[in-house]
Structures are given as structure tokens and as C-alpha cells.
Amino acid sequence: MKKLLITLSFIISITSVKSQQINLNLKSGSYKIEQNKDCNISENNAYRLLIFNEIPTEVQKLNLEKKGVDFLYYLPENIFAVSLKRKLSFSDLSTFNIRSVNPILDDYKIDKKLKQENFPDWAINDNLLSVKILFYKDVNLTEIIEDIRLLSEKIEDINEFSHSITITINPQNLNLISELIYVSYIEPIDPPSEKENNEGRTLHRSNVINTKFTTGRHYNGSGINVMMQDDGIIGPHIDYDGRVDQSNCGGCSTSNSNDHGDHVAGTIMGAGNIDPLAAGMANGAFLYVYSSSNNNYYDVPTIYQNNDVIITSKSYSNGCNAGYTSLSADLDEQILLYPYLIHVFSAGNSGSSDCGYGAGSGWGNVTGGHKQGKNVLAVANLNGIGNLSSSSSRGPAADGRIKPDIASKGTSVWSTVPSYDYDHFTGTSMACPGIAGVLAQLYQAYKELNGGVNPSSALMKCILLNSADDIGNVGPDFKHGWGEVNAYRAVKLLENNYYFSDNISQGGSNSHSITIPTGVTKVKIMTYWHDKEASTSAITSLVNDINTSVNFLPLGVDYFPYVLDPTPTSSSLNSVATSGTDSLNNMEQIVIDNPIQGNYTLNISGFSVPFGPQEYWVTYEFITDDIELTYPIGGEGIVPGESEIIRWDASEGTSTFSLDYSVDGGNSWNNISNNINSDYRYYTWSVPNTISDEVKVRVTRGSSTDESDENFTIIGVPQNIFVDWICPDSIYVFWSAVSGATSYEVSMLGNLYMDSMTTTTITNAFFLNPNPTVTDSWFSVTAILNNSKGRRAYAINAQPTNNGCVAQPVADFSVSTSVSCSGDITFTDNSQNQPNNWNWDFGDGNTSNLQNPTHVYANNGTYTVQLIVSNGLGVDTVIYNNIANVSYTAAPITYNDTSYVNPATFTLSSPSNNLKWYADTLGSPVLFSGANFNTPLLTQNTTYYAREIGGPSVFGGPSDNTIGGGGFYNNDRHLYIDCYTSSTLISFDVYAGTSHPITFELRDNNSQVLQDTTITVQTGLNTLYVNWNVPIMNDLELGVSSGNSDLYRNNSGAVYPYSVGNLASITGHNSPFGDPDYHYFFYNLQMMENCKSEFAEATAVFMNPASVFETNNNLKIYPNPTTRYLEVENNEIIEFIRIYNVTSQLVFEEKFNRFSTTLDVSEFSSGIYVIEIQTNNFTYKKEFVISDEVN
């Protein structure tokens, strides 16, 4: 096998240097290594740690690369993991300020928990350990897979993106794997994932950027695509209509009990179609639904490129305080590779847990390595007034970085659940989608402000964090992150272009001027960069360390960013942020209180940029003493007597707030409260019982005041909505009156939203159905006061319930088969607009008034069929020419019988066994089934008619039980069969576990037994002959009666449908668990179409020696019986004469061209024969007897 040459990636912190020793602290442990300057690199492709005195410049790195040094990963404190591509000595490297060159030891590669045999519960099973092996990025996994296979019990997963293989091994083999040169690190597998709004919209200020008045902002996430990973298929719910793709969730759960994803989806993008108070943040965004599997992250590049998915949301845990894992690194790298992409996660619900950070319970309990990524977002849980939930997970990250990043409402969130309903859920699971939805709004805002181009996700994260409301401790903290999301303040940064970007390299410095205007009480400046992914063995995960400061030259003052103390004690973690140098986080915020007007300089320093140049983004926000009311701001409809939370934004201060409302557009004001706490930015208002469309709210502090931008409305919500009918042509809705309403708007579910259908001044509405094919929809009513709308009522579902629902019908039908050898054809009415009368003309003189009749044609031929349908509004007719083709098989051979006594009984016979005998051809009952028909006692010549039934048999379904795995099953299950033409089920195969009697059943689609038989099966394969008539019907059930069991079923391998010739299809089974690839009990089905032949005649003849047999007044054959000669006469020219013996063997054939002939039959043995006379128009068959002597 080709030797692979790549270096180990891990991060080492040099804590001290004493003499020639260097202390190395890794996740795998602490090590002392000797400073080494004499190490000659004798082999090609060696892997080493290069320890520099200072970070090399980009030029120095380029020169080293020319010497064959491949820089792989940066290890903090001036160390790089490298691959040396050719032989080198230390002297070759002496000009590059390298302090030491050291080998990589196998012991570095094993996670400390694994080395101490402290195996996580989820990673150990039956004394076997599941681990993830990380490889260097240039390892070809296909070339080393056999090495891994030999050392493992099982290979669980191969991930090309993360360059990892997950395996199950004997723990004793850990050291053997670490010895492999191409192995970078070995860590435990990730733990299993666990599941972790009007009030939310207003808390997040989402409502301010998606207003209900014309001149406001209208950012609802339209054109933005979001990926949600959760617990299965979402819905049914009309709040998602037209904006969900679940095609990538094929194996997901469909159980309504899995409602976590439904609730999350509604918070992101729910339309509020049923309940307008439950609308999500981005009710115009499009959602792609995936399962919660971490493997789905590796589908992100595809849907990013093909579907423009740029935001992902996942509210699942992945191990409490798991640290910076390989998944963290993968997601950080993914965001670097795809610059518009942002991942959003819940912070977790372990707020009171102790997850080993070192400060005891209540700290360091963010649930998941993926959430501790540097470039992602982890979201804390607030209640409706911005207080942190006690269950919300706290930071810091395992390496002391700020987590969570931001906070949003996650307590008692009202959102969608299955089957068109809503519920209150609590948790960071509910906070995460709030941020994902707000981001969708902000992405849309950026695109509309910048010519349709997507923004950098680094910019969007920077804006989101820097514009957040500072709650909790001043500055960032380990509970709320950077604060409470404020979509309004964020969008203003975009609108005012308060952002810019630049790049910096190792040792570089940049300066940017920011002009602060007058009247500013606070300026917030944040510098953010998407950092390069770190090594999973690093103690700290920051790779590129940028330092920032702000200088105001006139005062000679420098300002530095916020810094938190990550020391693992409760007092340190709960302390207020100070200012200083941050060496842990990839964002730095500088806040200046009460700045003097003027030009300030933002200084950016490339303190340690081993992988540069590094792009960074800067956003800045100016906060003034102005108050900004954020709810209600105009266009809302609120309800008398309900409680509403009024919200506003304002800078810090000690003065109290006062609130007033007006019902006359601001001409006069009524006080709500004049002593609201200076720390509050909300107030719960009991809405007055005054009906008005000119309502405003005003908030005041000192000389600063703000009021609603536009009027809003106070009016009731319509009640007792009822849809009297929903018809193809029209719909009629009525409801109870609302006090003060001047009109009402009636809405109906459209493709995406509840669309306005009509406006009326009365309490009922009759309007045209916009889509005649829709007779099951949702409806609502909104009260209007002088053209201003109140809140729309909770929508109701309505289905056609009025039998008077009529529209002129449009006739149409289809046939079960266009060609039939049985004569049985089923006609299906496909007419539109609900006809209630049907008149069929089958083209053979027969009619029917059933909606979906089955007709039996008596004779061969092609038939034109007519259908006339009618209802209260009209009549329509459709005629399909030659739509029914009946092609019976040829008539069977039959034999007459004779008697010389009167009265007598006769035996009429045929060589075919599948005959049915009739008294006429006009549809009389069957007299007998079989080859030999014994007539009743007769006194005169009598003709009977015989018809052969059946056709060739066909086989279908799985031929045997080897299609997949399986076993014997003890329960009632049945297969579903669609039968297209009248048929007979001849036989099927079953496999029995034991010998016992079983009752097999054929049932109709209402589970009523049509045919059954009890058979004692033997152990093993049984071919069972049942000969059941199978009608034309969908969803027939082939199964066993209740209590029968122990038949073989497959639990894999089935691929439906299975065709049984062109007669039927096996479409599936009735397992309540889905199991689409299961197959139950029945194999190798044999069926036969119930074809019919033309009628053949057989006559009971009373004879005497001189009798002449005459038939059809045309043909004469005599004498009968005969001993030598047989006379044949006809009034048409005879073309052929054939004679058959009783076994249907042809014994004579000759061509003729005359009206009569004499046949010499003396050479034939005595017995019964059939003579066939063929003319140009007809063929006749008659029985005659050759005897030795005629009496």
C-alpha cells in the first residue's frame, strides 16, 4: 500500500519553557518535550511540529513551502503541524526563526477520556467501543480502509467531508490505531441527539421589519431558503402550504406524536393561516425538512449550491459541554467554504446541570459540540418579557469562549403542531428557530438593499450580535451571550450601511475611521471574523487571533473590547465583563458610553494570524436618548378586553416611562401608566372596550417620546363562523355580528396564505369558488371598521355538506379495460361538478342508471357507449365511439346425443372441461358446469348452448421468499390487490412454520369476506389451490382470518407494485408501521382471466332409422346414424368439410366448391363424430354416428 504522508493536526499550548524542555498541554494530556535543534529529517515526508519564536509571515511561509514544508494546522503559541515533503536538516530551516522541530507521538492522538478508559455510555456496547477516527486532510480513505477494517469489528460510517471513519473496535486496539501514521486523532462518537407567536415576534422586533401598513418594512423572509433538521415529517398543517419540501425526509417518522419539528417549523416560517397570532418570524421563507441525523450536515453543500439554502436550524443536543469536536470543526469549515451559510442551534436545556466545566452546576452546560463551533450561533431561551429561563444552558464553551451567542423567546411559544393545531412549548428548541426566522428576514432585507445578492454570513452574524439588546450583566455574559435579538436595530445597520470589511495578515495593522455624530449616548463597535477550523485536540480553538482597539486622538484615550473571565468558578463566570485583550473569541465588541462627537480610529492588529490573510467585518451602532415604540406601531388589529404587551426601545437611564393611548388619531390622549420602571422596555396593557380605527400608543421619558407610526384598530373578532356550502361554483359563509363593524372581509386558503375573497356589510357572503376542483378548504372572517381591519378570526375547515351544492355537470367516464375476453367491463364516472343522475347506454341495447356500473356483454363486437349526467343546474352528454371491444374465444366443440325412445334423457358432451351449459343465449341461468350435461326428461328435440370459461394462467408477486430477510410471523396481515378484469385466483404459495389449519380469505375493500377456505398447511413450502373468483375492484384484501399465524413474511426486499400479468397488481400491505419493503405470506400467485367463448350448440335428437337431420333450414346431413355413406346438402356453396373423432382429432378434411356431396365413411370405426361444414359466411358443427348396422 502506498505510504501516505500527512501530519497530525492538534493544538498544543506551550505553558512554560524551563531550560531545554517545553511543556505541551493537549486534550490528550500534558507532555514535556525536549527543545530539539539537531533533528535531521532523514526520511521523505516526515511529520513534525515546527515551534517558532514568532508566527511566520505569509512570505516566510511561502518560502518554507518551496522547501517542501506543507503547513497543515496551526497550534496556538507559534506552533504548526507540518508535513515535510523532502529530506531536511535543521540547518535548512535555520533562517526561519524556528525554535524546535519535534516528532508527533502516538500518545498525542487518543482522547483523554479514551486513554483513561472513561468510555461514555453511548459509545460502549457489549464490551465494544465506538470511536471516530480523524485523518489528515490529504489521506485517500479508499487506500487505507483495509488497514482500518483489519483493526475494527465493524466500520459504521465513512465521511469524506470530515475525513473521518467511525468504527466499532475492541478497546485494546486503540493503541494500534494511534500508531498508524495517517491517523490524526481518535475521539468517542457523538452522543445520540435529543430534542431540546405574536409575543415572540414583538419581543424580537420581528414585527417592526414586517409591518401591517403599506409604508412600513415588509421583510417576511420571501426568497430565503432554510434547512430544518428535526424529528420527522411535519404536518398536516396549512401554515406550511406551498413553502415546504420534505422530499429529503423519506425515512423520517410520520407519527403525529413527533411534533417537535412541527413546532420549530411554525416558529421559523409558519404563515399563521389558521391562527394569525401563531405566525412565525419569516412567514415567507421556504423550508427544507430533514431528519435530526448529524449526517445530514454533509448534504448542506449540495442544497446550498442547488437550492440556495443559506440558513440551517437544529434544536437537538449532542452531548453536554462536549467541547470543540470534529463536528464543530466540520461546521466551521463548511461556513468558511460557503460564505453565505449560517448554522443556528439551540444552546440546550441543561441550565442547572454540571457537565464538567469545573464551576459546578449551572455553568458550562451548552449541549453539543456542534453548538460550540466558532462560526455558528447557539441560542439561549428567554420568556416573553426577556428574562432568562432557568433551564437555558449556560456557557462558557469548553475552552472558555462566549456561549451562548444570543438569546430569543423560547418559553411558552405558541406554534404549530400536527393535524392543524397549535400548542405552547418551552425550551431553547423554541428559541433557536426564532433566530433562524429573524435571520431569514435580515437576509431578505440585505438582498433587497443590495441588488439581490446574498450577504456574507459573517456580516449577518456580526450585525445580529452587535445590534442585540444588552440584558443581564453589562456587556456579554455566559447566560445571554451578546444579548436579546433586536431585528429592528439590526435592519437599521443594514439600511444605514453601518458596516464594512477588510483583510489582515500576520503582524499587520489596519486603521478605520468612524465618525460619531452629536447626540449619541453609546456607540457599539464589533469586529467579527469567521475563523479557520481548529484541531479537535486543541485546548483552545481560536486559530487567527485579531486584536482591536479604538483611539480618540483629541483626548488621547484608547478603548478596548469586552473580556469575560472564563476561570471555572461561579463568581468568575458570573462577573461583569471588563475591557482588555481577548485571546479566545472570534468577535470583539468595543462600547463607548457618552462619546464626544468626532472621528474615532478603529485599530485592527493581526496579533496571531497563522492562516491569513483573514477577512473581518466591522459593524457599528449609534444609540441615542430617543425612544422608539416597537409595538403596536400601526396596522394591527387588537381586541377589546384582551391583554397586549406594549414594547419600545430606549437607551439606559434612570427616569421612568409613561404610556398613553389615543382613539382619535393622536388628537387627545388617555394615560395608561406614568410610572413604569426605568429598566423596563415593556408594559402589559389591558385593551379598553372602545371601538376605534384611529388608535395610537405613545411612550414618553422626559423630553423624549415616540408614538405608533400609523393608526391601528380596536375591534372584536368574528365568532360562530359557519360554511353553509362549498360547491364547485360557489361558496356561502355566515357568522355572528361584531359590535361596531362597518363591513367584513371573508378569506379562503389560497396557494400560500389566506386570500381575501369578498367584502360585505352583512353577516353572510356568497361568492364564486375560485377553483371548482376545491371543495375542502379553510375560511376566516375579519371585522372591518372604516376600511381598517381587525384581527382575523381563527380559520375553520369546511367540506361539502349541503346536498344542494350544484353546478352544471361535465360528463366523462373511463373503462376498466378497452378489450375484454370475458365480456365484463366496469365503467367509472369521472364527471365533474357533482352530477346526481346517470344514464348509460352500453351500445348493445342495455342501459343502467348506476354511477359506476359493471356490464356483461353477451356477444362479440365493438361497442359505442354513451353517458348522460345531470343535476339541478343542467345536463351533459359524452359519447365514446368503439370504446368497448369484446372478443370472445372460439366456440368449443360439442356433441349431440340421440335417442330412439320418447321421452328420454340425453348426455350432451364436449372434450373441454371448463364449460357452462345454458338453455339459451339471452342470459339465462347456468344449467350445469362441466363437460357432460345430462338433460332433464325430454319429449322433443331440444337444443342447448355451451360456453367455455377461462384463459391462459399467469403468475405474479414475489416468486418465493428469498427477496430479502424475514421470518415466521404471528398476526393477521393482508396484501392489497387491484384487479382490473374478472379473474380467477387459482393458487398461491405460502411457507408455514408448523403444520396446522389456516383459514385463508379474499375480502373486498370494505373487509367483507368474498371467498374463504380452510387448509391444513404443512411445514415449509405449500402450493394451495383455491380457484376463487376475483371481481374487478381496487384494494381487495388477500389474507388469513383472525388468529391464524406462523406464516413466513419478508421484512425487507419487497418492491411494490407486483403485477400479475395484466390482470391485477399487488400494491402493498396493511402493516400499521409503514414498512414499505415488507411482504406478507403470499408468493407466486397464479391467476386466470375469466374469458368466455362464443356459444356452441348441442342438440338432443329423437331418431328413427329413416330420419334426416336438418338444421337451420339450410344444412341437411343424412342418414344419421349411417354405415357407409353420408349425404351433405346446403343452400350455400360448401368450401370445406372436416370430420373430428370424439377426442377432437381431425380425421378428414377436404376442399369443396359445390352445394352437395356424398361422403364415404365406411373406413371409419363406428362411434360418434363431429362434421364441420364451412361456407363463405358460416361454420356449422354437427354430431353424427357411424354404426356397424342400422336398424
Q: Quote the pLDDT of residue 91.
A: 78
Nearest to 1054 by CA among 1083, 1078, 1080, 1081: 1078
What are 184-243's pLDDT values in tens digits?
888 888 777 665 556 778 888 899 999 998 999 999 999 999 999 988 899 999 999 999
Reply yes or no on whether the pLDDT at 808 is more than 50: yes
What are 1152-1170's pLDDT values in tens digits?
988 889 899 888 888 888 8
Residue linked to cell 398543517: 237
Reply yes or no on whether the pLDDT at 102 is more than 90: no
What does the alpha-carbon distance between residue 1156 and residue 1129 come to, in Å, rounded to a whole number?
A: 4
Angle at 133 between CA 326 and CA 348, to 5 degrees: 35
Total Cβ atoms within 10 A of residue 633:
27
Question: Among the ranges 40-44, 114-118, 312-316, 802-806, which has the highest mean pLDDT value?
Answer: 312-316
Reply yes or no on whether the pLDDT at 45 is more than 90: no
Q: Quote the pLDDT of residue 43.
A: 61
Nearest to 988 by CA among 960, 952, 1018, 946: 960
What does the alpha-carbon distance between residue 72 and residue 182 come to, in Å, rounded to a whole number?
A: 13
Q: Left, alpha or beta for 45 (phi > 0: left; psi -120 to 50: alpha)?
A: left
Q: Quote the pLDDT of residue 1.
A: 34
Weakest-pLDDT range from 241-250, 318-327, 800-809: 800-809
| The amino acid at 500 | F
- What would the DSSP string read from start to end of 488-551? HHHHHHHHTT-EEEEEE-TT-EEEEEEEE-TTEEEEEEEEE--PPPPPTT-SS---SEEEEEEE
Q: Quote the pLDDT of residue 364.
A: 92
Q: What is the pLDDT confidence band of residue 727, given thresholds at 50, 70 and 90?
A: confident
Q: Quote the pLDDT of residue 901.
A: 78
What does the alpha-carbon distance between residue 284 and residue 267 come to, in Å, rounded to a whole number?
A: 12
Q: What is the pLDDT confidence band of residue 1094, given thresholds at 50, 70 and 90?
A: confident
- At 176, is the secondary structure helix, strand, or coil? helix
Reply yes or no on whether the pLDDT at 599 is more than 70: yes
**Backbone phi and psi for residue 147, each to the nearest 5 degrees, phi listed first:** -60, -45
Reply yes or no on whether the pLDDT at 8 is more than 50: no
Q: Quote the pLDDT of residue 19.
A: 43
What does the alpha-carbon distance between residue 617 and residue 461 come to, in Å, rounded to a whole number?
A: 10
Q: Any alpha helices (H) in 867-907, and if so which ranges?
A: none
Q: Quote the pLDDT of residue 1065.
A: 94
Query: Which are the contacts of 1038, defined by CB distance < 8 A and separation ≥ 6?
Result: 974, 975, 977, 985, 988, 1000, 1001, 1002, 1003, 1082
| The amino acid at 1089 | E
What are 353-369's pLDDT values in tens digits?
998 898 999 999 998 77
Which value, in Å, is the radius of gyration of the alpha carbons in the chain?
43
What are 401-417's pLDDT values in tens digits?
999 999 999 998 999 99
**Backbone phi and psi for residue 336, each to the nearest 5 degrees, phi listed first:** -65, -40
Residue 74: all three cell numbers together: 496551526
Q: Which residues pair with 299 in a beta bridge?
A: none
CA 346, chain centre distance (Å): 21
- Interval 11-16 mean pLDDT: 33
Q: What is the pLDDT confidence band of residue 17, given thresholds at 50, 70 and 90?
A: very low
What does the alpha-carbon distance between residue 628 and residue 704 come to, in Å, rounded to a whole number?
A: 9
Reply yes or no on whether the pLDDT at 1190 is more than 50: no
The count of residues in the chain is: 1191
How far apart, in Å, are the Cα atoms of 1127 and each of 990, 1142, 1169? 59, 21, 15
Reply yes or no on whether the pLDDT at 338 is more than 90: yes
Q: Quote the pLDDT of residue 800.
A: 62
Q: Quote the pLDDT of residue 1054.
A: 92
Reply yes or no on whether the pLDDT at 1132 is more than 60: yes
Q: Is there a cis peptide before residue 728, judged by omega within 30 degrees of 0?
A: no
Nearest to 589 by CA among 711, 455, 483: 483
What are 668-705's pLDDT values in tens digits?
999 999 999 999 999 999 999 999 999 999 999 999 99
Helix (DSSP H) and strand (DSSP E) numbers for the chain: 12, 82
What does the alpha-carbon distance between residue 866 and residue 879 come to, in Å, rounded to a whole number?
A: 4
Mean pLDDT of the chain: 89
- What would the DSSP string read from start to end of 1017-1052? E-BEEEEEEEEEEE-SEEEEEEEE-TT---EEEESS
Q: What is the pLDDT confidence band of residue 7, given thresholds at 50, 70 and 90?
A: very low
Query: Which are the contacts of 814, defined by CB distance < 8 A and separation ≥ 6?
Result: 827, 828, 830
Residue 1114: all three cell numbers together: 339450410
Weakest-pLDDT range from 162-166, 377-381, 713-717, 1139-1143: 1139-1143
Q: Quote the pLDDT of residue 89.
A: 77
How far apart, in Å, are the Cα atoms of 645 and each of 606, 659, 1104? 46, 12, 113
What are 754-777's pLDDT values in tens digits?
999 999 999 999 888 888 777 789
- Interval 999-1010 mean pLDDT: 92
Nearest to 227 by CA among 159, 161, 298, 326: 298
Is 798 within 8 Å of 779 (Cβ atoms)? yes
What are 549-591's pLDDT values in tens digits?
999 999 999 999 999 999 999 999 999 999 999 999 999 999 9
What does the alpha-carbon distance between residue 912 and residue 930 come to, in Å, rounded to a whole number?
A: 8
Weakest-pLDDT range from 315-319, 430-434, 481-485, 1134-1138: 315-319
Domains of the chain: 13-104 (no CATH), 112-188 (3.30.70.80), 198-455 (3.40.50.200), 493-624 (2.60.120.380), 628-714 (2.60.40), 722-798 (2.60.40.10), 813-886 (2.60.40.10), 953-1089 (2.60.120), 1103-1191 (2.60.40.1220)
Residue linked to cell 483626548: 555
Weakest-pLDDT range from 191-200, 575-584, 856-865, 982-991: 191-200
Q: What is the pLDDT confidence band of residue 116, given thresholds at 50, 70 and 90?
A: confident
Record the pTM. 0.65
What does the alpha-carbon distance between residue 464 and residue 400 come to, in Å, rounded to a whole number?
A: 21
Residue linked to cell 398461491: 988
Q: What is the pLDDT confidence band of residue 1017, given thresholds at 50, 70 and 90?
A: very high
Q: Quote the pLDDT of residue 3.
A: 35
Weakest-pLDDT range from 95-109, 601-615, 1096-1110: 1096-1110
What does the alpha-carbon distance between residue 497 and residue 210 come to, in Å, rounded to a whole number?
A: 20
- Interval 322-326 mean pLDDT: 87
CA 1105, 1106, 1112, 1116 torsion: positive or negative? positive
Reply yes or no on whether the pLDDT at 181 is more than 90: no
Is 784 within 8 Å of 691 (Cβ atoms)? no
- Assign 3-class secondary structure to 282-337: CCCCEEEEEECCHHHHHHHHHHHHHHCEEEEEECECECECCCCCHHHHHHHHHHHH
Query: When comparing pLDDT for 622 and 912, which is higher?
Result: 622
Q: Quote the pLDDT of residue 813.
A: 94
What does the alpha-carbon distance between residue 467 and residue 482 come to, in Å, rounded to a whole number?
A: 9
- Assign 3-class secondary structure to 1052-1088: CCCCCCEEECCCEEEEEECCCCCCCCCEECCEEEEEE
Q: What is the pLDDT confidence band of residue 9, given thresholds at 50, 70 and 90?
A: very low
Q: Quote the pLDDT of residue 1110.
A: 39
Q: How far apart are the first and last CA of the chain?
A: 104
Beta strands in 153-224 (DSSP E): 154-159, 164-169, 183-188
